[in-house]
Structure 1
Amino acid sequence: MIRVMLEHAKKHPGLIPQFFFILLGMGGASFYLFRLAKGPHLRHESNPEPWNNLSPSYQYKFVAINTDYKNLKKEGPDF
């Protein structure tokens, strides 16, 4: 496949950017799938419930529009 792309690039140099971006997209997609295939980031062997260690003021969302996480009080019991 790479050999065919190189032959076409020699005949038509305008295709070089297209081949570059196609390979860049395929490489990025492969990297993303490999990263997803590594599994969850939480380790459950030592702590079966790691979400209980987070404080109530921990900001779970990337953007909190209407919520001020600093003034939240913990409403649930400790397990």
Structure 2
Amino acid sequence: MLCQIIGQSKEHPSLIPLFVFIGAGATGAAPYVLCLALFNPDVSWDRKNNPEPWNKLCPNDQYKFYSVNVDSSKLKEEGPDF
């Protein structure tokens, strides 16, 4: 497949930016999906020992990839402790 891409880019040099941008998008998407799969509280890999991991989150835990203008370490809990 890589030989075919190189052959196409030699025949049509205007396709090189297309290959670069698609490769950069795939390279950027792979770590983002890996980050979501490993650190998102909505994903449960161990159903027997931890069936509901989202219940163990504190209000000051940051689980978003990027939060704008929110310092999650200074958030306070609004509900009672059980």
Q: TM-score, normalised by structure 2?
A: 0.51
Instruction: Pick the structure with greater CA Rg.
Output: 1
The alignment covers a number of residue pairs equal to 60
Consecutive aligned runs of 4 or more in structure 1 exceeding 3 Å deviation: 61-64, 74-79
Q: Extract unaligned runs of 5+ from structure 2.
A: 42-54, 61-66, 71-76
CA pair 77-35 structure 1, distance change in 2 beyond 3 A: closer
Alignment match, 1:11: 11
CA pair 27-78 structure 1, distance change in 2 beyond 3 A: same
CA drift at 1:31: 1.3
Q: TM-score, normalised by structure 1?
A: 0.52
Alignment match, 1:36: 36
CA distance in 1, matches of 2:17, 2:10: 13
Identity across the alignment (%): 37
Tell me the SS of whatever aligns to 1:20. helix
- The 5 A counterparts of 1:1-79 are 1-40=1-40, 51=58, 54=60, 62-63=68-69, 77=80
